[in-house]
Chain A
Amino acid sequence: MWRNTDSRYGIITIALHWLVAVVVISLFILGLWMVDLNYYDPWYRRAPELHKSTGVLLFFIMLFRLIWNLLNKRPQPLPGNNPLEGKIARKVHFVLYILLFAVMLSGYLISTADGRPIEIFATFNIPATLTGLEKQEDIAGLVHLILAIILISLSSFHALAALKHHFINQDKTLIRILGR
């Protein structure tokens, strides 16, 4: 029920999957929107604060997700699935994890480039560590944007692949991550 079995995803794995999906898409839209805000917009300060705070929370969610994955077995591939596709799917999952951490790390390096901490919902601080590299905020900013676009593109591929299983192969791949 809570944990994965050989044939099913547990509630925790499913909840983490969809939570991360919703948060990542929201952060992507929020990030693109906030950088074009007018100086006098009420969201000019609030949106980046929300973006950074949520990003740091996502980091801790992802750490927990990694640990949870290690403590749980992965459900077996469905019978009849193409093994090459399965291989590609697992590679994509791995790269998505790497991209997620890289995007969060690069975002952290923008805001902490001058040694300032990141304030999380105005309650606690994530201190700066790596600071003062030549043009750190500009390079980290460019990396953050490019990797975020790649992350969203690869996630879309991941989602399209799931839809292909559902509508073309008509197998249980998609509904398994919905709890069936």
Chain B
Amino acid sequence: MFKKGVINFILVFAMMVPGTLLAADYIIDTKGAHAFIQFRIKHLGYSWLLGRFNEFNGSFNYDEKNPAAAKVNVTIKTDSIDSNHAERDKHLRGEDFLNVTKYPEARFTSTAFKDNGDGTALLTGDLTLHGVTRSITIDVKHIGHGPDPWGGYRRGFEGATTLKLADYGITYNLGPASQEVELFLSVEGVRQ
């Protein structure tokens, strides 16, 4: 009786294993810097100003058989903003923009993933930035996946979206051409 119970348990557990393996958890490879959160915003309407967030971490869950169940979580340290100019970064961290002392983190938590079937998808989720949480949609492209040369398994995506700064209570006037900031995300996850 006891033995049968154990065998049943093992059988049930064994049947679960492939499912759990397919719906794999990936840790975003910020340690090896194979992930980037970049932004660009028009300067006066005459050119693009580029920058990035150097410190963030996150994970995602992805199952090729059931992409709709995909989940993503990312936390960004707002004071790691880097636009390659110390005085500007100091301004961007201050109260006119990110107010990093009050809002040290920005967070993205996915709520839906709609696979378009052609390697692209729409990722919807809640973005908390500057203390304001809003639902955003990110255009996602699956770049590739497979074993890496060091015994691991990796999967990568890129994503793009546009945010209106005023939606997040960032109202410092940079001019009419600079109301929106474009985000470009490049994410490589290492399967756990």
Q: Which residues of A contact B (CB under 8 A)?
A: 38-40, 48, 110-114, 116, 135-138, 141
Contact = CB atoms under 8 A, between A and B. Distances in A.
B130 to A, nearest CB: 18
A138 B93 contact: yes
A21 to B, nearest CB: 28
B175 A138 contact: no
Contact of B86 (A38, A39, A40, A110): A110
Contacts of A138: 79, 90, 93
A112 B172 CA distance: 25
Given A112-B86, A137-B87, 15 more contacts: A38-B173, A39-B174, A39-B175, A40-B173, A48-B87, A110-B90, A113-B86, A113-B87, A114-B84, A114-B86, A116-B86, A135-B79, A136-B86, A137-B89, A141-B90
B85 interface: yes
A110 to B, nearest CB: 7
Contacts of A111: 86-87
B90 A137 contact: yes
A114 B85 CA distance: 6
A38 B174 CA distance: 8
29 contacts: A38-B173, A39-B172, A39-B173, A39-B175, A40-B173, A40-B175, A48-B87, A110-B86, A110-B87, A110-B90, A111-B86, A111-B87, A112-B86, A113-B86, A113-B87, A114-B84, A114-B85, A114-B86, A116-B85, A116-B86, A135-B79, A136-B86, A137-B86, A137-B87, A137-B89, A138-B79, A138-B90, A138-B93, A141-B90
A134 B37 CA distance: 20
